[in-house]
Amino acid sequence: MRDYLNKTLIVFFILSLTLSSCNSRDERIKSKGNQPLVVNSQEIKIAKAVFYLENSESMFGYVNGFTEYVDVISELSEKPDFAAEKTKREFNFINGGTPLSINCLGNDPKIFKSKLNTSGFRCGDITKSNLNGMFQIALDRAQNDTISILISDAIYDIGQPQSPLNALITEGRETRSKFISRLENGNIQCLMIKLFSSFEGNYFYSSHSGKTYVNQSRPFYIWVFGKSELLNKYFSETYISQHLKGFVNYARFIPIEENKVPYQINPAINRKGSFKPDRKNQNKLINAETRHGEFQFAFAVDYSSIPFSSNYFSNIDNYSLSNQNFKIVSINEIKKDEKYGITLFTNPTHLITIQTDKNPCGDLEITLKNEIPSWILESDADNEHIIDSNKTFGIKYLTNGISEAYQHTNRSKNLAMFKISISN
């Protein structure tokens, strides 16, 4: 009898669990039908990567042998994340004027890589290069979870104008219009990477039909377009700098949302003068006065939410201060195991030190501006007949067009602002 009761209880218990599980499942299904599905950011994946390689004749020197250019394109086509996640890929050559010539090479990286030579590059209209048309195509393909990658020498084909400078300005404004149009249809990040490669072949002048033979290192550029969360995850600074051979620098053009960058004064570090932290507001200093003509304090920030390089955050020129009596004297990167006594947040990334030799009292705002990185302007050449291995003819007009498009969309928003109150 006891065994019978025990068996009955066990059966009843199992049935109860089953019914409870079924009810829970039904409730979850109903819940999903009434509420939006929340997706963990770690689960966001690239569904497809679409490649566009400019293969006009000006690009042939990059594929004359196993160059850094060939190595980088091979790496990107077989990116470990793409292989591990079986990401769909589509490979295209792109050249020509209006209309563009697009030659699809399929989705097999092996076939694509077999074309990375001067023989493989000979397809389509190799005599022309419509860079703005290429941007339009690449921007349009970057939708939802699809990203697009455009690789080019970034030199506008401006034909034979009477005024090359005016032609470059016109091309730059067209670039701006292409980007504004795309940004109005949804937010998209533009990641721009500068790299070097050995180059042996003809260099074609942008403003006339002449050419000259070149055997030297030459810059080239990669643009990646897509959602910020995808580009930040798959194209981190570590991956770009360590896996792309010939890497020089990079910049991100992003739609700026309301960035709430955590920050907190550390009264024990780099201090000069006299002050106390306010008990109720840890970003307010009281009883402040200079000593020996100096007043200085430091505050820590967490820039991890902004996908810019550490060099950008450490460049004092990228900041502005509301009170001209103050200046930034140093910006130092904080190591992961250093907390600097911060209590308002857990992972400070940079320590900013502020100084003045005047009366410090008042409200101070420190702004991180959204500026074109200095390396881009340093890469620009206004004279195409001086072929510099570090410079690209007219690159500033192209980049200004991209930057101005994002500024228009962002309505001149800054990346971050820090408010400090100081009283005596």
Direct distance between the N- and C-terminal alpha carbons of the chain, in angstroms, rounded to an integer:
87
Alpha-helical runs (H) found in 142-227: 164-184
Record the tokens describing residue 314, joined without a space: 């450490």
152 lies in which domain range?
Answer: 45-256
Same domain, 234 and 292: no
Residues 393, 396, 399: CA angle, nearest 5 degrees = 120
Contact (Cβ atoms closer than 8 angstroms) between residue 193 and residue 240: yes
Q: Is residue 308 part of a domain?
A: yes
Strand 350-356 with 326-333, pairing = antiparallel
pLDDT digits (tens, 9 = 90+) for 182-198: 998 888 999 999 999 99
Q: Is residue 415 part of a domain?
A: no
Record the tokens describing residue 351, joined without a space: 């320590």
Q: Token match 């001086």: residue?
A: 386
Q: Is residue 424 part of a domain?
A: no
User: DSSP class of residue 245?
Assistant: T
Determine the pLDDT at residue 5.
Answer: 40
Q: Among the three residues 221, 256, 291, which one is the final residue of a domain in this structure?
A: 256
Range with the poorest average pLDDT among 30-44, 154-168, 254-268: 30-44
Distance CA 408, CA 392 (A): 26
Same domain, 272 and 207: no
pLDDT digits (tens, 9 = 90+) for 253-286: 998 876 679 999 998 899 999 999 998 898 999 9
Q: What is the mean pLDDT of residues 373-380?
A: 92
- Residue of 73, 71, 109, 214 whose CA lies nearest to 155: 214
Q: What is the mean pLDDT of residues 75-81?
A: 97
Same domain, 131 and 247: yes
Same domain, 248 and 273: no
- Residue of 336, 339, 331, 329 whose CA lies nearest to 311: 331
User: DSSP class of residue 386?
Assistant: S
Residues ≥6 apart with Cβ < 8 Å to 313: 303, 306, 331, 333, 349, 350, 368
Q: Among the three residues 256, 272, 287, which one is the final residue of a domain in this structure?
A: 256
Average pLDDT, the chain: 88
Same domain, 312 and 206: no
Q: Is residue 129 part of a domain?
A: yes
CB-based burial label for 242 (10 Å; 0-12, 13-18, 19+): exposed
Same domain, 270 and 225: no
Strand 146-152 with 48-54, pairing = parallel
For CA atoms 291, 294, 295, 297, give the dihedral sign.
negative
Q: What is the mean pLDDT of residues 57-83?
A: 97
The pTM score is 0.82
Same domain, 222 and 292: no
Same domain, 213 and 77: yes
User: DSSP class of residue 291?
Assistant: B
Q: What is the mean pLDDT of residues 188-216?
A: 94
pLDDT digits (tens, 9 = 90+) for 99-145: 999 999 999 999 999 999 999 999 999 999 999 999 999 999 999 99
Same domain, 271 and 190: no
For the chain, how many residues are written?
A: 424
Same domain, 223 and 319: no
Q: Among the three residues 256, 282, 315, which one is the final residue of a domain in this structure?
A: 256
Confidence of residue 7 (pLDDT cuts 50, 70, 90): very low
Residue 170 dihedral angles phi and psi, to the nearest 5°: -60, -45
- Tell me the Ramachandran region of residue 41: left when phi exceeds 0, alpha when psi lies from -120 to 50, beta otherwise: alpha
Q: Is residue 123 part of a domain?
A: yes
Q: Please state the domain count of the chain.
A: 2
Same domain, 198 and 305: no
Distance CA 339, CA 348 (A): 7
Contact (Cβ atoms closer than 8 angstroms) between residue 177 and residue 47: no
Same domain, 342 and 246: no
